[in-house]
Amino acid sequence: MKNLAIIEDDEELRGMLYKFLNHQDEFRCTMSVNSIEAFLKELNEENAPDIILSDIGLPGRQGDESIRMIKDKLPNSDVVMLTVHDDAERIFKCLQGGASGYLLKNSPLEEIKHYLSILSIGGSPMSPRIARKVIEYFQPKKKLEKPLSEREYDIVLALVEGLSYKMIADKYDISLDTVRQHIRNVYRKLNVNSKGEVITKKLRGEI
């Protein structure tokens, strides 16, 4: 039996969620409020939730801010976002803020219940469309017009690891000038002119 808090400013939806979820054996709704402020105010030892189902689009707040405020008070709770927004930026901000799941508001109540029960088996509830966005995040956005050679790629990886030119030369047993030459070529192919830009591109999956 998990304690559940619902934070949602749409009275109708909140009422429905409360009524439905509170009837389930797995959950007990100890809080049902319309804002983060109300949530933090009402919070006490008795009603401390294991799971917080929270709207993201609460007035005057960024969504990921809300999560941070909650996780700050309840670091071991699972915060599940409930939202109509499926844009990549919002999703990632929330995930970085510590959200344990991300559900779309158009999900049926039964499905929401099912998703929430996934938390108890160590999983993360995520609507399929959100999962798609997240997966796409990992995939290289576009093929390079000018692909890097193997050696050049080695050197990019070394840069990401924080190695200096000198250290790279030692690692691959080539001269410092050769490292310079390779890096020149990498810069030309990637159309950049600093180490930092190469690292950023690599870690963002653009290489």
Least distance from DNA to the Cβ atom of residue 62, Å: 20
Per-residue contact track with a second copy, 59 to 78, x per CB under 8 A? --------------------
Residues that contact a second copy, how many (by CB under 8 A): 39
How many residues are there in the chain? Answer: 207
Taking the mean position of all CA atoms in its chain, how far away is CA 183?
Answer: 33
Cβ atoms of 199 and 158 within 8 Å: the answer is no
Residue 92 contact partner, candidates a second copy, DNA, none, CB within 5 to 8 A by sort of partner: a second copy
182 contacts DNA (rule: CB under 7 A)? yes
Residue 149 contact partner, candidates a second copy, DNA, none, CB within 5 to 8 A by sort of partner: DNA
Per-residue contact track with DNA, 131 to 160, x per CB under 7 A? ----------------x-xxxx--------
135 contacts a second copy (rule: CB under 8 A)? yes
Residue 74 contact partner, candidates DNA, a second copy, none, CB within 5 to 8 A by sort of partner: none
Q: Which stretch binds DNA (CB under 7 A): 54-62, 81-89, 137-145, 179-187?
A: 179-187
Query: Among residues 137 and 172, whose Cβ is nearest to DNA?
Result: 172
72 contacts DNA (rule: CB under 7 A)? no
Got the DSSP string for the chain? -EEEEEE-S-HHHHHHHHHHHHTSSSEEEEEEESSHHHHHHH--TTT--SEEEEES--TTS-SHHHHHHHHHH-TTSEEEEEES---HHHHHHHHHHT-SEEEETTS-HHHHHHHHHHGGGT---B-HHHHHHHHHHHS-SS--SSPPPHHHHHHHHHHHTT--HHHHHHHHT--HHHHHHHHHHHHHHHT--SHHHHHHHHHTT--
Cβ atoms of 144 and 192 within 8 Å: the answer is no
In the complex, the residues that contact a second copy under the rule CB under 8 A are: 92, 95-96, 98-101, 118, 121-129, 131-132, 134-135, 138-140, 159-162, 164, 192, 194-197, 199-200, 203-205
- Which residues form the interface with DNA (CB under 7 A)? 147, 149-152, 164-166, 172, 174-178, 180-185, 187, 193-196
